[in-house]
Amino acid sequence: MSEEPHSARVTAAGTGHGDLGRALRHWRDRTRPDDAGLPARLTSGTRRAPGLRREELAQLAGLSVDYVVRLERGRATSPSPQVLHALARALRLTPTERDHLFLLAGQAPPPDGQVSPYIPPTVQRLLDQLGRTPLAVHDAYWNTVSWNPLWAALVGDPSALRGRERSVAWRHFAQLPGRVTHEPDQRERFETALVSDLRSSTARYPDDPELRRLIADLRRVSARFEELWESHVVGFHSADHKTVHHPDLGPVSVDCDTLTVPGSDLRIAVYSAPPGSRTAQQFALLAAIGTQDMSPAPRD
C-alpha cells in the first residue's frame, strides 16, 4: 500500500480532538506503573485498571493533572510539540505511535534533518531500572530530556527549567547557577567535549534552525565557547569526577560516565560511587528524601 503524502497526512489529523483523547487513554491504560519506573509510593492503593493513573502520567510527563484531563476530554486543543514529546516519552510510544500522536494533535511529526528529543522505549526502560544511580539523558542540543528521581534529588529537578535552561551547554557557558563544579583540568575536558559534540551535531543537522541559533548565541555570550569553536577542538566525554553541592547534604563527590546510544544522538550521563563510600550513603539518603527541602523552616 502506498503511503499518503506528508501534507495529506497532516491534514487528515483534523479528525477531532476526541480521537486524541481516546488514543491517550488507550496508551495510558496499557502502560504499567512498574514499567514506567514509578516509585512504590506512587503505585500503591487499589487500581481499577493496570495502567497509569492520570496523576502518574502527569508526573512522568512534567504536566499538570488538570492539563492531562483536558487533553483526554478534548478540551485542550493545541498541545505544543514539547508537550507531545513529553507524552510520547512517558507513554513509551514507538516512533510510529509518536508520529500518530502528533497527527492526532494537528501537528506535523518531527521532520527528518532536525534534532529530536525522542527516547526509544528500550532506553527509557533501562533508565527506569537503574533507580539507585543518578542519571539523565541529553539530546543533540545537550538538552536534558529525561532523568530519574535520584538525578532530580541530587542536581535539582529539571522539570522546573524552561527553554534554553534545559541545555547543559547553555547553562555552563552562559554561567547560569547550578550545583555541579569541576576542577580546572576537569572543566577543560568537559568544555572541549561539549563543543566537539555540538560541532558534530551541526554537521549531522545542518538545516536545524534551533541548533544554529544555539551555536550563534553561545558564541555571542561566551568568549570561552567562541575560542573553543574557532579552534576546531575535538574531544570525547569520558569517565571523570565532579562535585555536586547539595543544599542539604553538602558536597557530594561523584564519578561521571557519559554513555552513547547507538544509532541516535542521545547521551546518558551517569553519576556513580563505590559501594560503601560516603557518596553511596548520600545516594541512599537522597533516595529516601527525594527533592523535598530539608532545611529548617524560617522562624517568625
Question: Averaging pLDDT over each range in 56-65, 241-250, 289-298, which range is the top one?
Answer: 241-250
Least-confidence region, from 44-53, 87-96, 144-153: 44-53
Q: Report the range of poorest mean pLDDT among 39-53, 86-100, 220-234.
A: 39-53
Helix (H, G, I), strand (E, B) or coil at 75: coil
d(CA 10, CA 150): 39
Can you tell me the mean pLDDT for 241-262?
90
35 compared with 134, residue with greater pLDDT: 134
**Confidence category of residue 74, pLDDT binned at 50, 70, 90:** confident
Name the most confidently modeled range: 3-12, 143-152, 203-212, 275-284.
275-284
3-class DSSP state of 30: helix
Q: What percent of the chain has pLDDT over 90?
A: 36
Distance of alpha carbon 136 from alpha carbon 210, whole angstroms = 22
SS3 label, residue 24? helix
Copy the grid coordinates of residue 74: 478534548
pLDDT at 47: 60
pLDDT > 70 fraction of the chain, expressed in percent and rounded: 84
> Which residues share a beta bridge with 180?
244
Instruction: Write out the H or E segment, with its range, that includes residue 144.
Output: strand 144-147
The torsion angle over the Cα atoms of residues 245, 247, 249 and 251, rounded to 10 degrees, is 20
The mean pLDDT value for 168-190 works out to: 93
Cell numbers for 156, please give them: 535539582
- C-beta separation of 165 from 108 below 8 A: no
Tell which wins on pLDDT, 258 or 127: 258
Statement: residue 300 has pLDDT above 60: no
Q: Examine the pLDDT at 48 and tell me if it is beyond 70.
A: no
Q: What is the pLDDT of residue 11?
A: 36
Are residues 34 and 44 in contact, defined by beta-carbon separation less than 8 angstroms? no
pLDDT for the residue 113: 64
pLDDT of the residue at 172: 96
SS3 216: helix
Q: Are 43 and 33 in contact (CB under 8 A)?
A: yes
- Over range 247-275, report the average pLDDT: 89
Rounded distance between C-alpha atoms, residue 69 and residue 29, angstroms = 14
Is it the case that residue 107 has pLDDT exceeding 60? yes
* Polymer length in residues for the chain: 300
- Which 3 state secondary structure label does DSSP give 293? coil
Which grid coordinates belong to 106? 494537528
C-alpha cell at 178: 547550578
DSSP string of 239-292, one letter each residue: -EEEEEEETTTEEEEEEEEEEE-TTS--EEEEEE--TTSHHHHHHHHHHHHTT-
The string of pLDDT tens digits covering residues 111-145 is: 666 777 777 777 777 777 787 899 999 988 899 98
Instruction: Say which range, 80-84, 146-150, 178-182, 292-296, has the weakest mean pLDDT.
Output: 292-296
Going by C-beta distance under 8 Å and a sequence separation of 6 or more, which residues neighbour residue 71?
Answer: 20, 21, 24, 79
Distance between CA 291 and CA 199 in Å, rounded?
A: 34
- Tell whether the model's pLDDT for residue 295 goes beyond 60: no
Q: How far, in Å, CA of 118 to CA of 270, rounded?
A: 19
User: Looking at residues 156-180, what average pLDDT do you find?
Assistant: 90
Where do the domains of the chain lie, and which CATH numbers do they carry? 6-104 (1.10.260.40), 121-289 (3.30.450.180)
pLDDT (tens digit per residue) in 198-222: 998 888 888 888 899 999 999 999 9
